[in-house]
Structure 1
């Protein structure tokens, strides 16, 4: 079972632990204990193999299409982690014999996975195993492994078999041509593989060091190469195997601009392997852990004094996983919905990145945020192609994105329809179009927080103008009502397909047009050179008139007079209402599909995830807030109406609701939702993370703490702070970046202290009062628990 209190001393509230081994829970721990460094991600399968395990090694940005009938996905590379042990000729595993003192830990501070236990064979021979592993942040191509085996009571004959196994697949789909194996001497392996369709070359090399002399067998099977070490072990003796693995691909930045052939990649891999092999596992681990201290925890340190230590662990878990899944080294790559922890969603990027993950980097490391938005810029050409294919103009971003030039990669079919027994059609890639406006929103959010003019000049203006052109061509004129509308879409609430005038989509598209208008007017007055270049390419003057005309006539669903509720779409408020109590209390998501199919759910007043609420939360951060008349009464009315109808069947949903609940000082509800969001992956539900962690939900843990409890918010007037800590939290400290300065926050139940290094005066709105921050500012908090 999962445990949270194994950390001691300096590692208190840093350790996630598996306290007992169960073959039924393999996939849960493989995912939540995944290792990575943004370049590659390694699912934490055990060394010895078990039925039901899933071994995954991904290198970011190496997409491939296994078959013309399937969409492109991140391919599962050859596995380097399987090490099989044989005791007196019998293969060791924990389902035979007796295991004691079993514990596997992920130390978030050092980013090392450790597994230890004692095991007694059916013949009564006892051994102590200690298995360690890390994916280096110091040398991003390195996976380090170390195994200690100690004989406790009797002598035995031991065989350790270590391989590079290219027999891996993506749930049966084989992405690679037959690989080329090679063995050098008695201790070095090499495996070269090439993806079938995208022609990405991958080279994996492994170096072994055994602390004891042993007989060696060399193994070479189909798509597999390995070595086997055989030796006698005496009672009280410990034998150590260290295995260092180095991975390179032809997509790596080292080989830009022209790429590299297999021979060049192999030379580079062996050169790196030779360098790291000069050091021991412990020395390499020390350099890796130091990199985590300096690059990660020194920058993103987040301290919470809570009645429940789980809360501190949860925020660190959030930051840890955002670090290991984000390709901060390469702007040609995005973030998958499962990070690099599993095959779920095939490694594709969704709106999750811009709306849920990107804010962390915008406020914590703008350089990485810029890189992630640049990835979307590189996809602009394929977004234009998608728009053209669908009869529109401008840029229509794909719902799921892989290689920037791949275009739409959403699968066409999904789960079985519970009523018809047929495969359900996936409509999101065709009609869930709000992502185009969501990306435009994020461009503006990034700029307002960073004031990075160069990004707008190089990328941002073009992204906003072309997305505005899409919406201008997408609108449909309703002659009878004298307005433009948007028909046949899916909004963020994916339980409502083929709806007209989804509020989120209409309002965000309107924002997109108004942002393009704002940027146009600024450029034409303030930056003639940039304006002239863009005008020549995109005919901005003609588009500008079109944007203004469309913006004046686009239908924006208005709040009902009787209760201020904004209709989610044209029909939602008139749909049949049912008792949702059992679905609201569900322990697994999407149980409604056991009773209804999608066409039936379409006719019920039930919501999958935040839709109108995420609209209100986003747009209140923009220059449109006053024009649209969004206020707290409106937001509260919509929260009270939609939350009881929202099942939170998407992991994206809870963070928005928790933040909005915090805005209304509904702290019991907000804290409850924080815990629910934290427990999606980190909780005791052993089925929740089988296909990988939930990247947006994990980012949402941090967002609830910062945007919810600390009340940090981008507003039309600048930075606003309105802390309301839950009663369970005594204090919190964290940093954010704001327009080139790093601000340090110390918040407790009574006061909010903000400090920075410079003496430049910075206006900040705290509890609706504009104050000036020089170096330090302390403000008493108005909200107090009775």
Structure 2
């Protein structure tokens, strides 16, 4: 593990510059506002190892794939989240020497990500090759009040000389993706304008034709301010402004940026719209904008914070993850989703994986307005047509939702994942159930949900095959959640979720028939669903094959799992880990080692379907063989360990998911943060330690507290009730901050929670 940052409840603090681990630090210091974001790059030039990355939500490029394109049904492209124009850049010169912390001697350095108030601050002292010493203090933030705005304050103080400081703020549209398959330039110029103290640049994506405009306005406070050269080129605009520094004097530079896209504004109107927005921001001033940012983040934390007393490391981890989730997705734009790297890197390309439904939806269900989770589901409904096309390409019926997508079309290019990891369909169906079960919003079913469920069910019914010798339906040639096994037969989780989806779809069909008969009839007609389909689905449910070993009493991950050498991870030489960085892919696929929860994923999703004894036997069998090399793995294990009373294991897995990036557990955070797994730390506390479930519309808790914690608390929104749940070593206290009298089940006992009151449970 590479822990670069100091442990602090509300801040991520890097206390020295790390040239050899700068990419890791840049990932950790990433910041955004749900519409756009960037890595923690320096504003000034840096000639050392760096990954400059700025990303704008919903703007992508279909990069032609290098492999598989000649195969029928194979995606022709891999969707790329685009590295957008660099609009925060500011070259800084002391007389004729350009500031570069890779070249200058760094005397002092501190970089702080303030999570409570949503800004990144950096201060340093450095000496130039000619001996001129400066101190600097730099603050930037991506506004959550106006999500088009970014503001930067850059202070430079002379420590031992008299001379000039020159600021050269720029917008650079000539950027590249590091992961471009053919080293293509994804952008082309559209419009540019530059003058003293302001500039505008519009770039357009090739193929997809998204326009992105950035407008900047700058200001300098200092002595002897003079304007210099202006650069106005197709893909690059800048201007220079200088101030005179006497010894110990300070010059303060402000850069305000507005970034707007053709997703929301007509292309022809973009430059004027961005200029108008940024002019208003500069008029209001940096301190006013920062004050509004601070207040808005405090209000957000009032509804989403999780507090932990007695464990600062755990506290920092959960807050960091919540902070980055809200930097990535806020729910206001139903066309956006939650990418695995968010706005922190290019790896994994697409904006949507099954991670959203499986891991992120529960977090937003409980911490935000119900409309946010509803938008995540509507996003999938809007892409139903493309999902049907994906199934048709494989010669199947219904809808196969993509493994990776920007617009609903499959854009992943590994066959064993793209077309075999079909359990994602089950995660989307489960998310519909989860949303309706939590919110009680049954209208969603007749408006959107049933249509998605019916098409997914058609897919499952066409994907299974009947084995007459065994009298069972089987699912051949699949990859389960454990991607360290490919092209297996009868992955237990896939089979289980397929049958469950059919069962849930039938129950929704019955609900609609009884409660919305007209809608039910119209949907059946439009979707072409018949009673024969229903009978076939019932037959599959009854006769689905589930691999099982009687002697061990466990559900088998797939038909041949027990043919492997069953070795525990604890018996491996630590030098072999992580396996995906030390073993050949062939060796991994033949091993028993599990990347992430597979059988246990179903035990979490369909928790009430299994006895405690079944959960315990399967957990005890599979967890020791799990290497947790997927960021999605630890939280599921933490939740199940909590339920089983394995408190030490629950805490171990919580800490791993909470600090996965902060401690760089899997040695891969330099590529960007693991955004979609960050919800797992919240799940580990709320679904795990607190044991929260919703059963038949009733809220249930079964809490425990790690032995070294003094207490923990969290807030949830549930059907018009805003609750604060606090658990300490003696009691559980549930306080209602909004809502009327209602009941809650705690460890099997029913308690009334009064309006604006609380209940204390020993």
Is the TM value for this pair above 0.5? Answer: yes
Give the Cα separation in 1 of the matches to 2:568 and 2:741: 54
Match of 2:461 in 1: 472
Match of 1:435 in 2: 424
Determine helix, strand or coil for the equivalent of 1:145.
Answer: strand
Q: Confirm whether residue 395 of structure 1 aligns to residue 395 of structure 2.
A: no
Give yes or no for contact 1:60–1:327 (8 Å, CA) kept in 2.
Answer: no
**How many angstroms does 1:174 deviate by?**
4.1
CA shift digits 1:729-772 (9 cap, x unpaired): 11112111222322221211111111325775534331133444
Q: Residues 617-766 of structure 1 correspond to what in structure 2 (within 5 A)?
A: 617-621=604-608, 625=609, 630-683=610-663, 687-715=667-695, 718-757=698-737, 760=740, 762-766=742-746
Aligned partner of 1:76 among 80, 83, 91? 83
Determine helix, strand or coil for the equivalent of 2:669.
Answer: coil
Distance 1:693 1:528, change over 3 A: same
Give yes or no for contact 2:164–2:243 (8 Å, CA) kept in 1.
Answer: yes
**How many angstroms does 1:220 deviate by?**
4.1
Q: Confirm whether residue 359 of structure 1 aligns to residue 362 of structure 2.
A: yes
**How many angstroms does 1:617 deviate by?**
1.0
Give the Cα separation in 1 of the matches to 2:487 and 2:504: 27
Give yes or no for contact 2:723–2:738 (8 Å, CA) kept in 1.
Answer: no
Give the Cα separation in 2 of the matches to 1:605 and 1:230: 64
Q: Confirm whether residue 370 of structure 1 aligns to residue 359 of structure 2.
A: no
Q: Which has the higher contact order (CA 8 A, sep 6+)?
A: 2
Give the Cα separation in 1 of the matches to 2:278 and 2:723: 41
Q: Confirm whether residue 43 of structure 1 aligns to residue 47 of structure 2.
A: no
Q: Residues 541-560 of structure 1 correspond to what in structure 2 (within 5 A)?
A: 541-542=530-531, 543-558=533-548, 560=549
Give the Cα separation in 2 of the matches to 1:205 and 1:66: 28
Give the Cα separation in 2 of the matches to 1:584 and 1:508: 35
Give the Cα separation in 1 of the matches to 2:546 and 2:482: 18
Higher alpha-carbon deviation: 526-535 or 635-644:
526-535
Give the Cα separation in 2 of the matches to 1:23 and 1:330: 38
**How many angstroms does 1:587 deviate by?**
9.3
Aligned partner of 1:290 among 273, 289, 295? 295
Give yes or no for contact 1:2–1:16 (8 Å, CA) kept in 2.
Answer: no
Q: Residues 88-487 of structure 1 correspond to what in structure 2 (within 5 A)?
A: 88-171=95-178, 172=180, 173-180=183-190, 182-212=192-222, 213-220=225-232, 223-252=235-264, 255=265, 260-261=266-267, 263-294=268-299, 296-306=300-310, 308-365=311-368, 366-404=370-408, 407-412=409-414, 426-487=415-476
Distance 1:685 1:96, change over 3 A: farther
**How many angstroms does 1:465 deviate by?**
1.3
**How many angstroms does 1:684 deviate by?**
5.8
Aligned partner of 1:17 among 10, 13, 21? 13
Aligned partner of 2:56 among 45, 54, 59? 59
Aligned partner of 2:599 among 603, 612, 617? 612
CA shift digits 1:45-85 (9 cap, x unpaired): 01222332112221111121244754121211110122122
TM-score, normalising length: structure 1 = 0.91
Give the Cα separation in 1 of the matches to 2:476 and 2:498: 13
**How many angstroms does 1:145 deviate by?**
0.7
Give yes or no for contact 2:41–2:52 (8 Å, CA) kept in 1.
Answer: yes
**How many angstroms does 1:655 deviate by?**
0.5
Determine helix, strand or coil for the equivalent of 1:662.
Answer: helix
Give yes or no for contact 1:15–1:107 (8 Å, CA) kept in 2.
Answer: yes
Higher alpha-carbon deviation: 737-746 or 30-39:
737-746
Distance 1:525 1:178, change over 3 A: closer
Match of 2:520 in 1: 531
Give yes or no for contact 2:576–2:582 (8 Å, CA) kept in 1.
Answer: no
Give the Cα separation in 2 of the matches to 1:226 and 1:283: 26
Distance 1:23 1:758, change over 3 A: closer
Give yes or no for contact 2:194–2:231 (8 Å, CA) kept in 1.
Answer: no
Q: What is the root-mean-square deviation of aligned Cα atoms in Å?
A: 2.1
Match of 1:561 in 2: 550
Give the Cα separation in 1 of the matches to 2:575 and 2:288: 47
Match of 2:582 in 1: 594
Give the Cα separation in 1 of the matches to 2:131 and 2:363: 53
Give the Cα separation in 2 of the matches to 1:351 and 1:439: 7
Distance 1:584 1:279, change over 3 A: farther
Structure 1 runs of 4+ with >6 Å offset? none
Give the unaligned 5+ runs of structure 2.
67-76
Give yes or no for contact 2:594–2:627 (8 Å, CA) kept in 1.
Answer: yes
**How many angstroms does 1:124 deviate by?**
2.6
Give yes or no for contact 1:116–1:128 (8 Å, CA) kept in 2.
Answer: yes
Give the Cα separation in 1 of the matches to 2:21 and 2:163: 31
TM-score, normalising length: structure 2 = 0.93
Distance 1:14 1:540, change over 3 A: same
Give yes or no for contact 1:607–1:647 (8 Å, CA) kept in 2.
Answer: yes
Give the Cα separation in 2 of the matches to 1:205 and 1:484: 59
Match of 1:9 in 2: none
Match of 1:573 in 2: 562
Match of 2:72 in 1: none
Give yes or no for contact 1:380–1:395 (8 Å, CA) kept in 2.
Answer: yes
Match of 1:417 in 2: none
Give yes or no for contact 1:142–1:245 (8 Å, CA) kept in 2.
Answer: yes
Count residues in correspondence: 741
Give the Cα separation in 2 of the matches to 1:547 and 1:160: 68
Give yes or no for contact 2:30–2:40 (8 Å, CA) kept in 1.
Answer: yes
**How many angstroms does 1:403 deviate by?**
1.7
Give yes or no for contact 2:35–2:147 (8 Å, CA) kept in 1.
Answer: yes
Determine helix, strand or coil for the equivalent of 1:562.
Answer: coil
Give yes or no for contact 1:128–1:152 (8 Å, CA) kept in 2.
Answer: yes
Distance 1:116 1:84, change over 3 A: same
Give the Cα separation in 2 of the matches to 1:685 and 1:614: 21
**How many angstroms does 1:181 deviate by?**
5.4
Match of 2:499 in 1: 510
Match of 1:419 in 2: none
Q: Confirm whether residue 3 of structure 1 aligns to residue 13 of structure 2.
A: no
Higher alpha-carbon deviation: 757-766 or 523-532:
757-766
**How many angstroms does 1:90 deviate by?**
1.8
Give the Cα separation in 2 of the matches to 1:594 and 1:309: 33
**How many angstroms does 1:583 deviate by?**
5.3
